Structure 1
């Protein structure tokens, strides 16, 4: 976010004004000297969200466990050496990593060991956080930005709020967020509550919260660069004043010359060039509430960042898009309801699938989607297209035996018949139903709306 500040500062053209704006920014303690990763020409800015209860933040409660501040948000903004791409890399707070030996907030030495990644900030402050990230990634942190609750609210308010959309009503007393389903422009406490809430939205995980934070920050950057802020002197001044109250910076970044140097190098970046990625993680065996880095994906990911090649981790790579008409489907009735396979086949055919056969199967409790083992390369992708059309939940396609008990031809509406793998849908007693297509006219006629009516679709 500090990089968005310098983007707008360039448009002011007033160096004296610039110096006055940034003169009173709080300075963070320097990182201890020692062995650090080499420079690569990229710009890496560490962003941490602080829950400090000092000053205006006292209303959020007392200090926790005697600590002055903690963090649930750890991100690294990576800008390529040629300054044409930006990646916001998020580290889940629950990730178990090796914390190196570093000094505590009181100056005593903390022993290294396996702990949650956010304990580096909680126990050792910014210095220990930087040392942990650098030892973990071998990526040098060039600059540091810290944002607290009150400062975050001030930034959003100065922008006039940010539009969000809630798929369901939210009532989260811990995050102080109470909103109905649908679209809202959030400011102040509502904006802070939206990026802080965890259990009231999505799957309740920190990974889900990270995704919301990344999207929210992208919308902030978009509103700064494309929302008319740069051409409105009054709004621009209010935003800059709010921005400097929101952040603490490392001593080098707070220098006017360094700020302007960065500003000139990144002034062409917009929200379209900003990509949000979470480091590859997997479940931590010893504690279901924790995660660990997924290897070798994490090592490859960090190497890609250092090398400035495509930084999308393999596990997050986009799957090829499959249209409904490319998928051949067999529908089997594994329930006691007569004619169920034909009914479901009709519903899928109406949505463009190439239904080729219907039949009966032995009664089963659970609905499943299968594809032949010989189609392992792309069977799951085609199966996902069918799974996406199930109401309420989405079944994971699995490789297995694709063989109806008594198949009958189905008069498919798709011609010519596609060549892709055959996907078999076995209807079980828990059959969730087929999501229906909306009757929206015009260019949106193919948009699909869940039968539970998600207002954000």
Structure 2
């Protein structure tokens, strides 16, 4: 998250190229490409960044456990920042450190390999470094990771200090010597040291579980983004300079996250604010073999990952008449859905998906197999292009340009429309063997909506 917000600020900074170069030289980079292999999930246009919280005790982190020096680093925090292809939504997905997953074979830093097997998810980073963590997350989610960002204790503190602290709220007083966090109940503005204790404490706040701590971390991330984007930092050059220097000094990233790449990302996400950020934890359940561990809950976890992966870019090319017409809502569009894919039941499935998004599907049916998915509207329907374009915008690829022509009298099976069905032009969707899928309206399923953390979440809870 620190690199993402830093990117936004770099893009808005009043300084120039040489300042950017100076910032860039502060960033530590690690080459992970060799450890990832070539069998990876495809890119979809989304931006997925793996955020790793390192508990390294080296250097300035010695005070958090001198006895752990020389023993490497572990990850108690593992999150994936998913920014939609259209760069209009952001989700922070947290992976509980205690989750048992099937870890793929990884290269061991310094030589040798780590055998594939069932392991606790944070052991991927603990034993195999950032490359193994990326490889493991890709294996269990089938989602392509574009970049990684690692932040240690000292770096985290520096970022919080340079934005002037963050307001938190405690439902009760906390005294946790292990996390170095002692604070009374109520609202407080915490500095870097206190903030670190707040996000690290586990057994003295909440129910003592990692899941409770994760939710607290997500609230904190939302508050940091709110402070950075809405707190006036951009208009105060001295504070901005301090924050940028702290952020760039605090992180280790992959070599692909170059200066130019950061500026490209910054430009694409400059409209995002804390209000667009959602936090969600991967659905889990008790792990039968060990009460201190959890496992992904199925099918909920798989469905969640599928929706994240299907949140793909939409870049339809509207016709001139469509661009000039007023926006058409889903509820205004009557759709006939026909299956030419050769896969049984596809028309009904697609009709249900479109209905769930508000479209009025009046008929379904089957047609002879066809390779190319098509969207048709009547040549004489003056508003047809706009209505068809609304359907096209919900498909998962940008190859579907609506076509004006004669609405074919295809085999129809009537569906029960809404009580007051719209009266506008009819649109026909013919599903081919290249069917791209219906773009999900939200990457977070309805079953998980009640577990979302966002800018409206009450931190005092």
TM-score by length of 1: 0.68
Q: Is the 8 A contact 2:219 2:459 kept in 1?
A: no
Measure, in 2, the Cα distance between the counterparts of 1:103 and 1:61. 28
Partner of 2:294: 291
1:200 aligns with 2:173: no
Assess, with a 3 A threshold, how the Cα gap between structure 1 residues 292 and 239 changes in structure 2: closer, same or farther: same
Partner of 1:6: 7
Partner of 2:266: 263
Q: Which has the larger radius of gyration?
A: 1
Measure, in 2, the Cα distance between the counterparts of 1:286 and 1:62. 33
Residue 109 of structure 2: SS of its match in structure 1? coil
Which moved further from structure 2: 174-183 or 100-109? 100-109
Cα displacement (A) at 1:11: 1.2
Residue 114 of structure 1: SS of its match in structure 2? strand
Measure, in 1, the Cα distance between the counterparts of 2:69 and 2:192. 27
**Could you give the per-residue CA deviations for residues 163-182 of structure 1, whole angstroms, max 9, x where no partner exists?**
00100000001100000111
Partner of 2:106: 102
Residue 317 of structure 1: SS of its match in structure 2? helix
Partner of 2:26: 24
Correspondence 1:62-141 to 2 at 5 A: 62=66, 64=68, 67-141=71-145
Q: Is the 8 A contact 1:181 1:455 kept in 2?
A: no
Assess, with a 3 A threshold, how the Cα gap between structure 1 residues 11 and 169 changes in structure 2: closer, same or farther: same
1:36 aligns with 2:40: yes
Assess, with a 3 A threshold, how the Cα gap between structure 1 residues 154 and 211 changes in structure 2: closer, same or farther: same
Measure, in 2, the Cα distance between the counterparts of 1:25 and 1:16. 15
Gaps of 5+ in 1: 320-453
Cα displacement (A) at 1:60: 1.1
Q: Is the 8 A contact 2:167 2:188 kept in 1?
A: yes
Measure, in 2, the Cα distance between the counterparts of 1:167 and 1:226. 26
Measure, in 2, the Cα distance between the counterparts of 1:293 and 1:79. 23
Correspondence 1:348-359 to 2 at 5 A: none
Measure, in 1, the Cα distance between the counterparts of 2:253 and 2:285. 32
Assess, with a 3 A threshold, how the Cα gap between structure 1 residues 187 and 272 changes in structure 2: closer, same or farther: same
Cα displacement (A) at 1:455: 11
1:316 aligns with 2:448: yes
Cα displacement (A) at 1:136: 0.5
Partner of 1:143: 147
Correspondence 1:30-429 to 2 at 5 A: 30-31=32-33, 32=35, 33-62=37-66, 64=68, 67-253=71-257, 255-308=258-311, 309=440, 310-318=442-450
Residue 229 of structure 2: SS of its match in structure 1? helix
Residue 295 of structure 2: SS of its match in structure 1? strand
Which structure is richer in relative contact order (CA contacts within 8 A, separation 6 or more)?
2
Assess, with a 3 A threshold, how the Cα gap between structure 1 residues 456 and 111 changes in structure 2: closer, same or farther: closer
Measure, in 2, the Cα distance between the counterparts of 1:292 and 1:110. 21
Q: Is the 8 A contact 1:280 1:313 kept in 2?
A: no
Q: Is the 8 A contact 2:50 2:78 kept in 1?
A: yes
Measure, in 1, the Cα distance between the counterparts of 2:110 and 2:161. 35
Gaps of 5+ in 2: 312-439, 452-457
Assess, with a 3 A threshold, how the Cα gap between structure 1 residues 201 and 84 changes in structure 2: closer, same or farther: same
Cα displacement (A) at 1:12: 1.3
Residue 179 of structure 2: SS of its match in structure 1? coil
TM-score by length of 2: 0.68
